[in-house]
Every structure is written in structure tokens, then in C-alpha cells.
Amino acid sequence: MTRAVDVVVIGAGAAGLSAALGLAATRQVLVLSAGDGSTPWAQGGVSVAFGDDDPLDHAHDTHVAGAGFCDPRNVRALVEEGPQRVAELIAHGALFDRREDGSLSRTLEGGHSHPRIVHAGGDATGAEVDRALRAAVRAAGVETMAGRVIGLTKSTSGRVSGVLVETGGETVRIDARAVVLATGGIGNAYLASTNPSAVRGDGIALALLAGASLVDMEFVQFHPTALFTGQTRGQLPLVTEAVRGEGAVLRDLRGRLIMAGRHPRADLAPRDIVAREIEAAMRRDGTDHVWLDARSIEPDVLRRRFPTVLASCASIGVDMLSEQIPVAPAEHFLCGGVQVDRDGATGVPGLYAVGEVAASGVHGANRLASNSLLEGLVFGRRVATALTLDLPATTDRSYDVVLTEDREPERIRAILTKYAGIRRDGAGLNAAADELSALGNGPLATVARSVIVAATAREESRGCHWRSDHPHTDDRWNEHVAIGLDEEGLPTTRDAATQRARTGPR
Ligand SMILES: Cc1cc2nc3c(=O)[nH]c(=O)nc-3n(C[C@H](O)[C@H](O)[C@H](O)COP(=O)(O)OP(=O)(O)OC[C@H]3O[C@@H](n4cnc5c(N)ncnc54)[C@H](O)[C@@H]3O)c2cc1C
């Protein structure tokens, strides 16, 4: 079966739905989704600077968290276009929490110098963003379809011209003048993650197959406080950073404050720093978790602001009003991804990427908390604008590029988890490359290899990439590591910039 639309959007999270909504008036759009992505799970909120806050301060905090590795023009687009996008979301019916006087309630999270995180349902922001966007997309008449995209079609002139999707037990070909990857992060390439299972890096593998580049794949963010449930596989519940924003503190198992004296913002330091300090405390004490102590927060505030966290804690028998919460870092967010320009265009004509799958450059080497829903809203709209202005048709013949099946998914996840966690070193990364070499080139193997290749290349520590054998930031590494496929279809460093940085004077 074959059909044709103007634009296929792969992914129905904040980024994909924003792109579809922006295109609805001018283009025939089809949104494909393999199931819930991370968007409905987002807790803390959306960061947005308005009123007594200044977008320039938001930009500054974003650059500091990103360890000087952000793209300044894209960060400017994020912070300046953000308020308008959030206002539109409210116009579409999103109900953010408000104070008694009717003003938006704003909280603080790690790395922010101003309370600028708007939230919904206390700590259920993603669910409300998801609900409002889906309702708006439906009202705009956009068609959605359940199914997993397993391949792209490319014209002989090199343009991406459609997708192959598995749906209802068959493989359907859908021709399109442009394809937008909005497939989210890579959580399911690790044994455990805060991401749901549909988030497995398919978009990363599809982009590489089509001939696009990846960049910044070594910058995988670990959230400092996933709930420690004893479970070591699958999706882990999150304890939002906003709990620390309201005054909770991290303690080691002997009760000592972990962040005291470690950073001027203590428990609200950027995520990479907090996650590393927790990892160090766990390693020092030989433990598999630490405590988050929220007992200083008024019970009424905890009940109103954190119903999701309260329920997750209750499910493992912890009453966060009176007891400390067991937490440990877990894989959470991919800062890099498919290399794109400011309008989401990859290097391959007809192929776009937006949201967590894309390396828009706004997260640099480490994402600032609550900047990613905003990224989806802002850059989703930018892609839509670009494709409204310009969408050439493809007329020449096309051929398929198709993902192969992963041979041993659980082994791939175990390798990535063991060697490309918070702490990495050259010996471990080389061992990972060896162990992966026998595991084919399915999508999970491709994602894992891309992270390992990039992490091996970057012989320094920066943002959330921490090499214990190269513990300092090195200015000679002020270049991005780009990844492409070699002639055997395996990820390799591609960019002249990477080569320069690797071989430059030492
Ligand atoms: C627990 C948790 C809490 C978070 N809290 C916050 C927060 O408070 N604030 C914030 O800004 N960010 C937060 N984040 C991060 C944020 O939620 C994500 O970065 C963001 O939602 C990603 O949006 P997206 O649209 O790019 O992808 P996603 O929302 O992950 O959606 C991906 C979509 O792609 C689809 N897909 C994937 N592969 C295929 C395929 N092969 N074929 C078809 N469809 C496919 C999936 O089915 C899904 O529809 C949190 C994340 C998690 C997991």
C-alpha cells in the first residue's frame, strides 16, 4: 500500500506536534508515532523568561550550564521566541498552575538564576503540554497514525522522499516532500533510563542511514535524582529537580550534605555537577543510592506541587513527607543528536530533525533544566515555518534505506550502560567498541556505537561528558565531534573539525 502527503512527521511529542500544528494550515501533514515518548512524562516544567525576568539572563544560564558549548544564535531563538510559543500553548488551552492572584506560578530549578519554570498539575507539566498540543492538532485536522518507521525512501538525486512504516501488521510506504524526525532521545539504548520504551534512538539511526551527520553524541545527560526502586531495567520514575528548587537537599547514606561546598548553587548546581557528586559519594561509600531529604518543605507544598513524585514514592513504600527519598542518577537526555541548522534542516535535502533527536545546539555540553519542552515548541515551529515557505517536490525514482533488526538488544544496552555512563575512560570505551563489534548494525547498535565513538574521540571532560582519564576541560577540544557512517555502515568520526581537534598540536 502506498500513499502520499506533503510532510511526514515521525514522532508525536512536544517537537513533532508543534511542527505539525505549525504546518496544518498550509500543508497536508501526517504524524506517525510508535507510542508515548518522553513528553507526557515531563514533570518540572517549561522554562520561560518574561515580566521581571530577562530572556538574556535565561540565555546566560543556558550557556553556563552548556559549558560554553551552546550555539549562541540558536539559544537566542530559544529564549526570545519561547514566551510567544508558551503564550500560544496557553491560547490552545494548556492550564499552567497559577497563584491566587491569577499570575503564572514560577519555580526555580538547577542552573537557573531566576524562578522561571512554569508548571502544570504541580509536577505533571508534560501531560498537560501533551494534552493541549494533541487537542490543538486534532482541531486543526492533522492526521495521526500509530506505527513504527523502519526506513526512509530516497530519490536518486539524493532527496529524502518518504518513509516505510510498520502499522497494523503490514509495511506501508508513504511518499512525502519532506520528512521531519521528531523521535526523541536514546533512553532505551541504556539498560535503565527515565525515558519510556518507545524512545530508542530510531531517528538517530535513520538519519545516519540517509547520509546525515550526528554531532555532540558524547553529551548524554544523567538526571541526578531518579527514584531508586531497586529496579535496574526499563523506565525509572523521576524525582523532579523542582523538589530541590523548593528546598530539598541531597545527603549521603551517613546523612552528610553532598553538595555543601561543592558549588556556589549547592543542590541547585547544573545537573552534570550534581550527578557527578552523587556518583562520587556512591563510589566512596560503596552504595547504590543516596538520599533526597524533602522533609523541610511544608507538607501542603509537597502535596500540591509534587503529586506525581509523592505517588511514585508511595509505590515503593516511602512517605516523602516524613522520610528521605532513595535516589540515584539515571540516563535522561541526549544533548547532541542529528546535526541541523536553525530551521531543523539536516545536510540531506528533504530530511529535517527537531526536538531531542536534533542537535540544535541549545544544550551545548549539558542541558539546562526545563529547556527541552521549550526547545520542542520553538524549533518545532521553526521547522514548520521553513517548510511552509519552501517545499520542493521530488519527481525522480526512489530507493529504500531500511533499518535492520538488532541482534542482541540487551547486550548492547548493557555495554552502553557499563562503559558510557556518568564516568568514562579510554580503556572502557575501547572495550565497549570491541564488544559492540560483533553485534551488527541495527538501530540500538548504531546509537551505542555513535556514543562510544564520540566519547572516545573527546579526550577531555566537559559538561556531562566526564572522562576520568582526562578530568579537565581542554581548550584544544573546543570543536564538536561529528559522526557519519563508514563504507561498512558503521558510525565513525566524520568531520574535518574533529580530525583537526584530534590531531592538532598537544
Ligand atoms: C521523566 C522525564 C521528565 C522530564 N521532565 C522535563 C521537564 O520538566 N521539562 C523539560 O523541558 N523536559 C523534561 N524532560 C525532557 C523532555 O520531556 C523531552 O526532552 C521532550 O519531551 C522530548 O520531546 P520530543 O518531542 O523531542 O520527543 P518525545 O516526546 O520523546 O517523543 C518521541 C516520539 O517519537 C516517536 N518515535 C520514536 N521512534 C519512532 C519510530 N521509529 N517510528 C515512529 N515513531 C517513533 C515516539 O513514539 C514518540 O511519539 C523530561 C523527560 C523525562 C523522561
Q: Which protein residue has the closest C-alpha to ligand 1 atom 13?
A: 42
Q: Which DSSP category does 310 fall into?
A: H
What average pLDDT does range 353-382 have in this prediction? 97
Q: Which protein residue has the closest C-alpha to ligand 1 atom 5?
A: 42
Helix locations, 161-201, DSSP H: none
CA distance 182 to 162: 15
| pLDDT on residue 397 | 80
User: How does residue 498 score in pLDDT terms, banded at 50, 70 and 90?
Assistant: low
Q: Radius of gyration of the chain from Cα atoms?
A: 22
Reading the block at residue 260, the C-alpha cell is 555543601
User: How does residue 380 score in pLDDT terms, banded at 50, 70 and 90?
Assistant: very high
Assess whether pLDDT exceeds 50 at residue 450.
Answer: yes
Determine whether the shortest distance from the Cβ of 32 to ligand 1 is under 6 A.
yes
User: How does residue 396 score in pLDDT terms, banded at 50, 70 and 90?
Assistant: confident
| Cα–Cα nearest to 324, from 299, 300, 290, 301 | 290
Assess whether pLDDT exceeds 90 at residue 202.
Answer: yes
Active site residue 271: yes
Q: Which of 110-114, 236-240, 311-315 has the least mean pLDDT?
A: 110-114
Q: Which of 209-213, 254-258, 370-374, 390-394 has the least mean pLDDT?
A: 390-394
What average pLDDT does range 131-149 have in this prediction? 98
Assess whether pLDDT exceeds 70 at residue 425.
Answer: yes
Active-site residue identified among 85, 116, 131, 271: 271
CA atoms within 13 A on the CB side of 31: 28
User: How does residue 222 score in pLDDT terms, banded at 50, 70 and 90?
Assistant: very high
Say how many Å lie between the CA of residue 187 and the centre of ligand 1.
10
Crossing angle between the packed helical segments 426-436 and 409-419, to the nearest 10 degrees: 170
Say how many Å lie between the CA of residue 5 and the centre of ligand 1.
24
The residue assigned the cell 529535517 is 352
Assess whether pLDDT exceeds 50 at residue 357.
Answer: yes
CA distance 106 to 249: 20
| pLDDT on residue 506 | 31
What share of the chain in percent tops pLDDT 90? 92
The torsion angle over the Cα atoms of residues 44, 45, 46 and 48, rounded to 10 degrees, is -90
What share of the chain in percent tops pLDDT 70? 97
Assess whether pLDDT exceeds 50 at residue 503.
Answer: no
User: How does residue 502 score in pLDDT terms, banded at 50, 70 and 90?
Assistant: very low
Q: Which domains does the chain possess? A: 2-186+335-399 (3.50.50.60), 227-329 (3.90.700.10), 404-503 (1.20.58.100)
Say how many Å lie between the CA of residue 415 and the centre of ligand 1.
23
Average pLDDT of the chain to the nearest whole number = 95
